[in-house]
Amino acid sequence: MKKLIAFSAIAVFAFTTPALAFQCPKLVKMINDTAGNRFDNTAQNARIAADTASKLHNEGKHAESEKVAKDALDKLGVKY
């Protein structure tokens, strides 16, 4: 029984972690789509934040990447 519980916990962790990691690119795309044709300072800062979030995502720092991206989206006034 203990082996079954341990295996179940490992399986849940293994399948949910990659799923959460894919939210970063979605958020970065939302930033780029929203700031795409805008030339104001907020849009410029959002593009920089999108680049930062993308780099953090590639480094495996998904929580930090998501925070940076969500902050940029908040400043752009986008609901995610």
Read off the pLDDT of residues 5-40 as tens digits, 9 standing for 90 and up: 655 666 666 555 455 557 999 999 999 999 988 999
How far apart CA 68 and CA 52 sit, in angstroms, is: 8
CA angle 75, 76, 80 (to 5 degrees): 95
Residue type, 72: A
Distances from the Cα of 10 to the Cα of 1, 16, 23, 74, angstroms: 14, 10, 21, 35
Residue 22 is predicted with a pLDDT of: 72
What token pair was written down for 55?
Answer: 């780099």
Give the C-alpha separation, 69 to 27, whole Å.
6
For residue 51, what pLDDT is reported? 98
